[in-house]
Every structure is written in C-alpha cells, then in structure tokens.
Structure 1
Amino acid sequence: MGSFASKAALGATTDEPTEPEPKHLADLIQYVNETNMSVKHLADVLSEKARSSSWVVVFKALVTVHHLMVHGNERFIQHLASRSSLFTLHNFLDKSALEGYAMSTFIRRYSRYLNEKSLACRLITSDITKARRGMDGMMRTMDTKQLLNTLPVIQIQFDALLNFNANPDQLTNGIIHAAFMLLFKDSLRLFAAYNEGILNLLDKYFDMRKSQCKESLDICTKFLARTTRLAEFLKVAEEVGVDQKDIPYLTQAPYSLLEALKQHLASLEEKNDSFPPYSLQHALIPPIPNNPVVKTSTSRAWFSVRKRVGAKQQGGKTIANNLDGLPASLAGNLNFGESPVNKSDMKWPQTSDKEITGGMKWQLNTYTCTSTIWNHVSIPLVQTPVGAPYQMVPQRTSYTQPGSETSK
C-alpha cells in the first residue's frame, strides 16, 4: 500500500505547471483516512518533493500537504506536528525562469504558514480549524489561563496566513490559485476559533487580575487589527471568483470597545475597586444623534444579543456576562465539510434599512440595563470614525519558517 501512496504523491507533484490532479489528491485522502495505514511514508515522500529546485514541484508538494491537512484524517497533521522540523524553505529561490522569481516569494510565505499550522497543532494538541465550535466548543469552554496561552498561538498562525498577501493579478496559475483557495478555507475556520476565543475572553475580562487584563487587552487590540486585514484578504477572494455567498461581510464594530477595556484596566492600576463610569455596557450603546430623521423598519441591525443575558453588578455599574454579539461572532456559521446549518436556527441579523438624514443606513438593536434585567431597545448608531475596528456579519442572504515577515 506504500507504493500506492508513493505513486499518488508523485502524480500530484509532477513538473507540469498546473494544480495537483484531483484524482491523485483523492487517492491520497483515501490512503490517510485508512486507520491501518502509516502516514510517515507519505509525509517522507512529500517532504522530499518539497526539496526540489523546481518551483513547480515544490509548490505542488506544499499544496498537496495542505490539502491533506484540510481534508484528510487529523492524524496526518498530528504526525507532521511531531516532527522536529517540517519545511526549511525560507531561502528558496528558483532562478531558472522568470515566473520562478515571483512564485518563490509565495512558496516561502506558504511554507511558513504550513510550519506555523503544524506548530500550532503541536502546542494546542489539535488542529484548531477542526475544533468543535459553539457555546460548548473548545474555545468557549477554556478558562482564562488556557485562553491566554492559546490565543497568541492562533494569532501567529493567522498572521502567517494573512502574510501570503497575494493580489488577484498575482494568482496567475492553477498552483498558486489552489494554494489561495486552501488558505481561504483555513482563514474562515481559523478566524471562527479566534473569534470565539475573544468572546470568551471578553466574558471573563472584568473578573481578571490586572496582569491578565493587560494580556487580554493586547490580544483584543491585535484581534481587531487582524480583522481589518481579513477584510482585505476576503476582498481578494471575491475578486478571484469565490462565490459571494461564501464570503462573510465585514462592517464596523463599536469604536469605543477598546476604550472601555482600557479604562477598566486603568481603574485596576489605580487600585480602584469600583468600575469607571465608562464601562463596557456604555461602550456598546453609542450616543443618539441630535434630532435624527429616522424611519424604523422591522429588520434587525448587525449587532444583536441573541438571548436574554445575565448581568453582573459591581460598583454600581452593570457588566454583561454574555457578549455573544461582540465583536464578530461566527460561531456555527462557517461549515466547510460539516453538517449544514438549519437556516431557521441561524441567529445572524439582517442589514438594516433604517434611514438617517444624510443617507446613512445604520441601526443598532441592543439591550440596555437599568437593573439586572436587560430590556430591548432600538438605538440609532452614529457613523463610526474611519479606522475603527470591524465586525463580521453575513451577507443579506442566509447560508451558512522562519525568516518571513510578521505583523506587529
């Protein structure tokens, strides 16, 4: 059976400048999904092909490895994670052809991402892109210490993915296009886990020690910056032909969220046991514009608390226990290779058609609290300043190596 895997691996990594043939990839998936088959031999063959001097062979080997990571049995990536090193392509350069120069750049970036994906699997002990999601999922059930250890690992992997940084006019052949599509799938799954971790972190933020708040604030700040970069990545996906219904739409999240977190941390640093007047609750309810001309419809806006939530009283200020609406909840709505979502169960709000003078179309449905019970109100949202953090919502129609640059 080892010869079968070798033949399929060699067929997937020929020197033809086209993406690996689906037949060979299907054969390899079948092989790694057989529980009695060792994946070590297959990993050895593909690693050897990745040491070729031809950009075509190397790139196809990387795409094949990534395809098996995404679509194959998790024991394949677990084996790769157990290796002391995976790809050492940070200096790779194919000078034999003009296209080789351009593709070598993406090979270096792509191999770094696969290294980080493998390392993250080792550190987290599972492939986070395949972890169970939702309220009882992996990221939502972690305690504070686990979150503070896990989220930076996810962030590094996410940075490596976004650093692939290809423009539509650079996806000039089937190989790099296949790599980009695998990265696109990973980006949504990885961000879903990243986002759920942030939601859990926000739930716990006001119960943390000062040192934990500092770490959490840094993580949340970086998360919002990565969300902006993801928006750019998804724009490329749309331009290269990814169906719009498969691309989540990004809109701006409350501009004052980070300010509320910062002020809470400042109150701890001043050893003030009471919360500052500028609490998280106030951050989520922006001021009402003076004398707006508003037409309200029954459609819902991008922020919606999906169920009655508990609240916590501390120092006379109310803090929400459950922040499912913040800042970009994807839980349960990205379903690559998973069971379809029942559209009637999906909690995504629809785009508002509230009209405010000046042509803006913003609306915020949120919950305000006067005691420990949340009462639903509808509040118009003032336009957020340029450069504000983003929040992810769906489209109108429901559906579900070192040596590379890094983001700061």
Structure 2
Amino acid sequence: MGTLNTLRKAYGVLKDKTKIGLAKFNNITIIKATNHIESPPKERHVRKIFAATSVSRPQTDIAYCVQALAKRLSKTRSWIVATKILIVIHRTLREGDPTFRDELLNYAHRGNFLQISNFKDDSSHFVWVKTYVIFLEERLDCFRVLQYDIEAERLTKLASGGSSKGQSRRKSTEELIEQLPALQQLLSRLIGCQPEGAASDIYLIQYALALVLKESFKIYCAINDGIMNLIDVFFRMSQDDAIKALEIYKRAGQQVEELAEFYEYCKGLELAKNFQFPTLRQPPPSFLATMEEYVKEAPQSGTNLASHNLSEQWDLALFTAPSTNTTHAVESELLLVYSVYEDEAIRRQKQLTNARYGYEGQPMMMIVPYRYPQQLQVQHMGHFSPFGEPPLFSIPPNSILLQ
C-alpha cells in the first residue's frame, strides 16, 4: 500500500512538472511570436500556437494560451506587440481548430476580452490597433448570432465542389432578419479597419489588413445570399418584417459604396498590386419605391388570411398581370435586383475559372490561406505574406484573387 501511494505521489509530481513545462513552452512561444520587432510573427511560432490550441490538446492548455494572449495584450503599451498579438489571434481563428474560437468565446463571456486599457496614445498606429480589436470582437459576436463561421462554411463548400450558395440563402425570414444586421455590422467594422495617416505605410499593419481584407468578400457574399432570400419572400411578409427587411436592403446598398471605396484604397497598397478585386454592383434604387409601396399596404402580423391574399395580389401584379407600363417596370426592376445579387457567385466562379483555379468537368478548387507546404509559401523578410498565396494551378502573375 505504501509503495502504491509513493508511486501516485511521484506520478503527481511528474504530471505537475510536465504541466509547468508545457505552460512555460507555450508562454515562451507566445512571447517570441509577439515580440517588439516590427515585422509579422514568424511562421514557426504561429504554427506552434496552432498546435498548442488544437483539438488534440487538453482544454486547460487551450485556455492557458487564450489567457496568456489576452493578458499580454492588456499589459502592453507597444502598438507593435499589440498588433502581433491580434494577428496571432486572428490567424488562429481563421486557420486553427474551432476549439480556440470556443475558448475565446468562453473567455469573452467572463468580461475579460481583448482589453487595451493601457493605450493612451492617440497616434494613427494606436488608433488602428483599436479598430482591429473592434473588428475581431465583432467577428466573435457575429459567430454567436450566426452559429457558423462564414469563411469556413463557404470555402469548404466550394472546395468540395458543392453549391456556392451559403447558409444565408437557406435561412428562414426570421433568421435572416436577425442575422443579416449582424453580418452588415461585421462588414461595417471591417471597412472601418482602413488605416489612416502614418499607419497606412507600415508593413506590419498592411499585413494585418490583408487578413481583414481577405474576409471581406465572404461577408459580402453572405449578405448577398441573404438579400436574395429576402427578395424572394419580401412581398409575402407582414408589415413589421417588411419594414426590417427594407432597412436591411437600404443598408446593403450603402455598404456596396463603402466597400468599393475600401477596395479602391487597398488597390493602392504595394502588397496588393497583384490582387484581383471583385467588381461590386449597386442594386437599382428605383426598386426601393416598389418595396416602400408594399410596406404601406402590407398586413399586420397575425392577419394570415389578409397576408395570403395581399401576397397573391402582389405576385400577380409583378409576374402574371398584363404588361402595363407600371407592372412591366416593376417586373424589370425586380429582375434587375435578382441579376445584381444572384449573378455575383456566377461572376466570381468565372473569374476563378479564367484564372485557371478550376477546369471544365472538375470541382472548383479554392485557395485556402496558409494551408500550403512551407516550401511553396511566398516569403517577405522571412515571414509568410498573406498577399502572396500560391495557386493550385499556374496562373498569370497578376491574377491573385481576393478569396
């Protein structure tokens, strides 16, 4: 019995030492990845953090890494260290296991999220760090509402040759009215990450901006899918839902302009010279009048019979009535709206095919950031460049797509 107790104690001591050793290793890796050198985190350190927060690791290890990153962020007074911490968090959210995101959400629930209270400087560097923090916080908040990751969902479907339509295209009206504003708010925070002043010329900030930029089109597509879904059912909505849907549609039009301006800015960045940006199309403003007219006549919630009759009248007016000038104009506007939103995925797929990312008869192959063998990765000063993703097939040198 005494021997067994001795063995248990020895095992406990060994286990404690192992935990301490792993904690020290993870802490050292985090410090090295987020040091004061004004360059992106080294790839080998980031990969070690991926491994330390993978699903194969104990939950306590993952929690330790999250807490260590958050603690280092809350204590630093250096915009360089803060930016590198946020890059590590962002990349792990994008490329790491979902266990990291889940632990980050748990940590945020306790009110100890990405705090930068020690930042007293109002220079453009520090201001940009704050906007980056806000975007990452919004990214997690959006996941709470949607309960799925936009980027992972879209890339997985397209890489496997599945439908290009995202989950927003298959949601109910109630889900869309709740989720689309969250997506639009996320896109707004993303556009707000445009640096100003001296921050615009700093490579480290441009590196982080690239990670943000690469998420923009997925968010834009998710919103487009949702708008298409709303348009499908808009003329059968109750008045309350129609009012909310109309506001979503209006904001979508405004954000097309804002995103186009953001892309124009990004085109001027040295690191984005070879990027192929998507062409954004503005929905016809004249269709707003048609939607507003329906809102005035739409039934109140709970009047099922009236709602059914009115929706039938609008469907007939739009699609089956004799071709008067009014109905023909409304029908043309509706078809134009469909073309703006529904053709986006088709145009994008053609862009990919033209750039030789896919070929006839085979599933479309998509770029998955940072998933390539180390020897294929484009390097910048010894660091992985988010702008220089290698293609799966040979493509023209100026055809790097925004994916």
TM-score normalised to the size of structure 1?
0.66
Which residue of the partner structure matches residue 113 of structure 1? 135
- Larger of the two Rg values belongs to structure: 2
Which structure is higher in strand share?
A: 1
Contact 1:5–1:42 (Cα < 8 Å) also in 2: yes
2:71 aligned with 1:44: no
**1:5-404 pair list within 5 angstroms:** 5-38=26-59, 39-51=62-74, 52-83=76-107, 84=109, 85=111, 86-89=113-116, 93-95=119-121, 101-132=123-154, 134=163, 137-167=166-196, 170-240=199-269, 241-268=271-298, 273=310, 274-275=313-314, 282-283=329-330, 285=332, 325-327=339-341, 329-331=343-345, 333=348, 342=358, 344=360
The letter for the 2-side match of 1:220 is Y
The letter for the 1-side match of 2:135 is Y
Distance (whole Å) between structure 1 residues aligned to residue 337 and residue 400 of structure 2: 22
* Cα distance change on mapping 1:281 and 1:56 into 2, 3 Å: farther
Contact 2:30–2:45 (Cα < 8 Å) also in 1: yes
Which structure is higher in helix share?
A: 2
Which residue of the partner structure matches residue 383 of structure 2? none
* Cα distance change on mapping 1:261 and 1:345 into 2, 3 Å: farther
Contact 1:15–1:57 (Cα < 8 Å) also in 2: yes
Distance (whole Å) between structure 2 residues aligned to residue 201 and residue 116 of structure 1: 23
Distance (whole Å) between structure 1 residues aligned to residue 201 and residue 291 of structure 2: 44
Gaps of 5+ in 2: 1-21, 158-162, 301-305, 319-324, 363-397
Contact 1:92–1:104 (Cα < 8 Å) also in 2: no
* Cα offset, 1:279, TM superposition: 7.5
Distance (whole Å) between structure 2 residues aligned to residue 163 and residue 398 of structure 1: 24
Distance (whole Å) between structure 1 residues aligned to residue 400 and residue 193 of structure 2: 29
Per-residue CA deviation, residues 157-191 of structure 1 (Å, 9 max, x unaligned), is: 22111112325863222321122111101112211
Contact 2:128–2:199 (Cα < 8 Å) also in 1: no
The alignment partner of 2:114 has SS state of coil
* Cα offset, 1:114, TM superposition: 0.9
Question: Which moved further from structure 2: 238-247 or 5-14?
Answer: 238-247
Per-residue CA deviation, residues 328-353 of structure 1 (Å, 9 max, x unaligned), is: 754484899xxx9635589xxxxxxx
Which residue of the partner structure matches residue 363 of structure 1? none
* Cα offset, 1:211, TM superposition: 0.9
Distance (whole Å) between structure 1 residues aligned to residue 290 and residue 143 of structure 2: 34
Contact 2:187–2:219 (Cα < 8 Å) also in 1: yes
Contact 2:276–2:399 (Cα < 8 Å) also in 1: no
* Cα offset, 1:204, TM superposition: 1.4
Contact 1:257–1:283 (Cα < 8 Å) also in 2: yes
Per-residue CA deviation, residues 215-260 of structure 1 (Å, 9 max, x unaligned), is: 0000010111111111111112211132555311224433322222
Contact 1:78–1:122 (Cα < 8 Å) also in 2: no
Contact 1:13–1:49 (Cα < 8 Å) also in 2: no
The alignment partner of 2:201 has SS state of coil
Distance (whole Å) between structure 2 residues aligned to residue 345 and residue 264 of structure 1: 44
* Cα distance change on mapping 1:135 and 1:205 into 2, 3 Å: farther
Distance (whole Å) between structure 2 residues aligned to residue 113 and residue 27 of structure 1: 25
* Cα offset, 1:200, TM superposition: 1.1
Distance (whole Å) between structure 1 residues aligned to residue 123 and residue 139 of structure 2: 25
Contact 1:31–1:37 (Cα < 8 Å) also in 2: no
Gaps of 5+ in 1: 287-318, 347-395, 401-408
* Cα offset, 1:27, TM superposition: 2.3
The letter for the 2-side match of 1:35 is S
* Cα offset, 1:120, TM superposition: 1.6
Task: Tell me how many residue pairs correspond in the alignment.
Answer: 310
Contact 2:26–2:52 (Cα < 8 Å) also in 1: yes
* Cα distance change on mapping 1:279 and 1:118 into 2, 3 Å: farther
The letter for the 2-side match of 1:11 is K
Distance (whole Å) between structure 1 residues aligned to residue 25 and residue 280 of structure 2: 45
Contact 2:52–2:65 (Cα < 8 Å) also in 1: no
Contact 2:37–2:80 (Cα < 8 Å) also in 1: yes
TM-score normalised to the size of structure 2?
0.67
The letter for the 2-side match of 1:45 is A
Contact 1:195–1:329 (Cα < 8 Å) also in 2: no
* Cα offset, 1:47, TM superposition: 0.5
Which residue of the partner structure matches residue 365 of structure 2? none
Question: Which moved further from structure 2: 59-68 or 261-270?
Answer: 261-270
Per-residue CA deviation, residues 103-154 of structure 1 (Å, 9 max, x unaligned), is: 1111111111111111222222222332246466311111101111111111
Of all paired residues, the percent bearing the same amino acid is 19
The letter for the 1-side match of 2:67 is D
